[in-house]
């Protein structure tokens, strides 16, 4: 039996003016896809896998239309070449915005469905921060989403979706999908599954799976920095029984709605000034401060120098900022050379509204792995060490620091562009502070411009009633 595999995976803040280009994506195609660690689980007796294209990028601004169209065209060409197929698995994120287009995943999945035809089972896996639409649900037979945030079950989620597809091919019994939207949009930082009430809401999902007629129960938080009509939370349930799946979706949706007033930030959170006051008084280390409004893994631009400016104003000693995306500054450091000093403008290289700092910087270290976009420069600015990267990227893994010769545990104050801390940084933070900084993923969501969202939606609106109502996929009615 023949299963084709592909997808597109990123998350786009519609508030970002910085479009994503094709070069921003890491693309797996053909045999490289099958050989990748990401898809390393694709092995089942009697099943042949046909690799299409999988394009994945660090979250950011909207994807440029030419980039999206090129990926989609290639996916569809490879899909046509793989026909006839017994199944299609698409590994998605769910929060893509394409410049000038709403519901990009709806467009992508609908186009794939048109190629494979109505009889071919289609499975998708999602990030729980994806936004789902009826159009998407109407094309799919199998849906699984992450059950952890921070995400530590990426592989397990993909395996759940793919395994249900394999089982469908073996049994000849095609499941279906029911979903129930919830007019509730919260940032991931208030719905981390490490904190209540999300921890309990997600903990019970496997119990739903064990009910008769249910295969896979999901709660989608959705993506709040998308000011577009489809942005919503929802419950999505894959099942073999329509009534059971609908009932489960409505229960999960109701449970989420009932907790709407109880979601809180998991770490100590406040204004940048307040967080720096606390950091100044801290007698423990490392203090890890999340510059949350500019978090590239949430769609932030990652080029802002707000925290650097604030630390310089305070005359701060002994801090490491990792990092700030600034290609011109990295280029200038490489042109100057390690050990030398230069006048540098740091910040605001991508988004004109991002603040910058004019400084005298000493080039401490240059990291040149080959491609110019992968270069990094480490500079000393007064008592502050700043990591500059040529491209937008996070510094969330110990390895990112080790490569540059840093041990984050030995720093007094580590500033990272992050929301909730990554699974590697959270355990060493002592303490973890989250600053409500400006940026295109500003955590002060009630103040976000809201021109195109469906209303009412909590917390943008508070005074309205809601009772969940499940709908079935058009393929299952």
Closer of 388 and 441 to Zn ion (Cβ):
441
Q: What one-character DSSP code corresponds to residue 422?
A: P
Q: Measured from the CB of residue 132, what is the shortest distance to Zn ion in angstroms?
A: 14
Q: Measured from the CB of residue 94, what is the shortest distance to Zn ion in angstroms?
A: 9
- Residue carrying the six token digits 């209540």: 196
Closer of 129 and 391 to Zn ion (Cβ):
129
- Among the residue ranges 126-134, 173-181, 346-354, 469-477, the one whose residues contact Zn ion (CB under 5 A): 126-134
Q: Measured from the CB of residue 461, what is the shortest distance to Zn ion in angstroms?
A: 24
Q: Measured from the CB of residue 9, what is the shortest distance to Zn ion in angstroms?
A: 10
Closer of 9 and 49 to Zn ion (Cβ):
9
Q: What one-character DSSP code corresponds to residue 264?
A: -
Q: Measured from the CB of residue 408, what is the shortest distance to Zn ion in angstroms?
A: 23
Closer of 230 and 247 to Zn ion (Cβ):
230
- Among the residue ranges 129-137, 264-272, 319-327, 364-372, the one whose residues contact Zn ion (CB under 5 A): 129-137
Q: Measured from the CB of residue 151, what is the shortest distance to Zn ion in angstroms?
A: 6
Q: Measured from the CB of residue 150, what is the shortest distance to Zn ion in angstroms?
A: 8
Six-digit token pair at 355? 């603040």
Per the DSSP assignment, residues forming a β-bridge with 8 are: 55
**Binding to Zn ion by residue 216, rule CB under 5 A?**
no
CA dihedral for 239, 241, 246, 248, sign (positive or negative): negative
CA 107 centroid distance within chain? 19
**Binding to Zn ion by residue 129, rule CB under 5 A?**
yes
Binding residues for Zn ion, how many (CB under 5 A)? 2
- Among the residue ranges 61-69, 120-128, 253-261, 419-427, the one whose residues contact Zn ion (CB under 5 A): 120-128
Closer of 148 and 349 to Zn ion (Cβ):
148
Q: What one-character DSSP code corresponds to residue 195?
A: S
Cβ pair 413, 272 in contact under 8 A: no
- Among the residue ranges 15-23, 121-129, 327-335, 437-445, the one whose residues contact Zn ion (CB under 5 A): 121-129
DSSP string, 208-247: HHTSTTEEEEEEE---TT--STT--EEEEEEES-HHHHHH
Closer of 78 and 129 to Zn ion (Cβ):
129
- Among the residue ranges 109-117, 128-136, 349-357, 406-414, the one whose residues contact Zn ion (CB under 5 A): 128-136
d(CA 129, CA 127): 5
Six-digit token pair at 368? 């040149």
**Binding to Zn ion by residue 127, rule CB under 5 A?**
yes
Closer of 149 and 164 to Zn ion (Cβ):
149
DSSP string, 118-160: TTS-EEEEE-TT----HHHHTT-SEEEE---SS---HHHHHHH
Q: Collapsing DSSP states into helix, strand and coil, what is residue 361?
A: strand
Please, what's the b/e burial string for 6-40 (b: 16 or more CB within 10 A of its CB; e: otherwise)? bbbbbbbbbbbebbbebebbebbbeeebeeeebbe
What track of x and - describes contact with Zn ion for positions 15 through 54 (by CB under 5 A)?
----------------------------------------
Closer of 113 and 129 to Zn ion (Cβ):
129
Six-digit token pair at 370? 């080959």
Per the DSSP assignment, residues forming a β-bridge with 216 are: 238
Q: Measured from the CB of residue 77, what is the shortest distance to Zn ion in angstroms?
A: 29
Q: Measured from the CB of residue 111, what is the shortest distance to Zn ion in angstroms?
A: 24
CA 438 centroid distance within chain? 19
**Closest-approach residue to Zn ion (CB):** 129
Residues lying near Zn ion in the complex (CB under 5 A): 127, 129
């Amino acid at each position: 039996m023949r299963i084709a595999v592909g997808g597109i995976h990123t998350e786009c803040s519609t508030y970002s003016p910085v479009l994503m280009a094709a070069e921003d994506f890491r693309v797996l195609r053909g045999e490289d896809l099958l050989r990748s660690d990401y898809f390393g689980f694709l092995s089942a007796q009697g099943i042949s896998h046909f690799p299409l294209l999988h394009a994945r990028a660090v979250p950011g601004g909207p994807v440029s239309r030419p980039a999206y169209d090129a990926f989609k065209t290639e996916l569809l060409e490879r899909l046509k070449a793989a026909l006839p197929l017994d199944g299609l698995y698409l590994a998605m994120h769910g929060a893509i915005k394409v410049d000038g287009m709403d519901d990009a995943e709806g467009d992508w999945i609908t186009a794939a469905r048109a190629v494979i035809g109505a009889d071919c089972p289609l499975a998708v896996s999602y990030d729980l921060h994806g936004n789902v639409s009826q159009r998407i649900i109407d094309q799919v037979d199998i849906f699984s989403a992450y059950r952890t945030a921070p995400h530590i079950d990426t592989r397990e989620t993909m395996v759940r979706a793919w395994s249900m597809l394999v089982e469908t091919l073996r049994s000849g019994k095609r499941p279906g999908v029911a979903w129930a939207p919830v007019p509730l949009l919260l940032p991931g930082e208030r719905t981390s599954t490490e904190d209540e009430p999300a921890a309990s809401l997600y903990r019970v999902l496997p119990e739903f799976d064990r009910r008769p007629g249910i295969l896979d129960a999901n709660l989608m938080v959705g993506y709040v920095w998308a000011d577009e009509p489809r942005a919503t939370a929802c419950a999505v349930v894959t099942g073999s029984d329509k009534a059971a799946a609908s009932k489960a979706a409505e229960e999960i949706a109701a449970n989420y709605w009932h907790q709407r007033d109880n979601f809180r930030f998991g770490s100590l959170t406040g204004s940048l000034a307040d967080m720096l006051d606390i950091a100044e008084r801290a007698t423990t280390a490392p203090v890890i401060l999340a510059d949350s409004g500019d978090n590239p893994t949430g769609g932030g631009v990652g080029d802002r120098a707000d925290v650097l400016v604030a630390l310089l104003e305070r005359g701060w000693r002994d801090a490491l900022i990792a990092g700030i995306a600034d290609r011109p500054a990295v280029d200038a450091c490489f042109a100057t050379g390690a050990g030398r000093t230069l006048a540098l403008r740091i910040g605001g290289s991508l988004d004109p509204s991002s603040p910058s700092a004019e400084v005298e910087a000493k080039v401490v270290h240059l990291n040149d792995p080959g491609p110019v976009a992968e270069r990094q420069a480490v500079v000393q600015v007064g008592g502050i060490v700043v990591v500059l990267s040529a491209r937008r990227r996070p510094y969330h893994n110990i390895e990112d620091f080790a490569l540059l010769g840093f041990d984050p545990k030995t720093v007094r104050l580590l500033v990272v562009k992050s929301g909730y801390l990554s699974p590697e940084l959270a355990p060493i933070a002592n303490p973890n502070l989250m600053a409500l900084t400006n940026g295109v993923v500003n955590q002060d969501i009630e103040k976000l411009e809201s021109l195109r969202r469906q209303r009412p939606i909590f917390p943008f609106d508070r005074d309205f009633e809601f009772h969940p109502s499940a709908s079935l996929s058009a393929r299952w009615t």
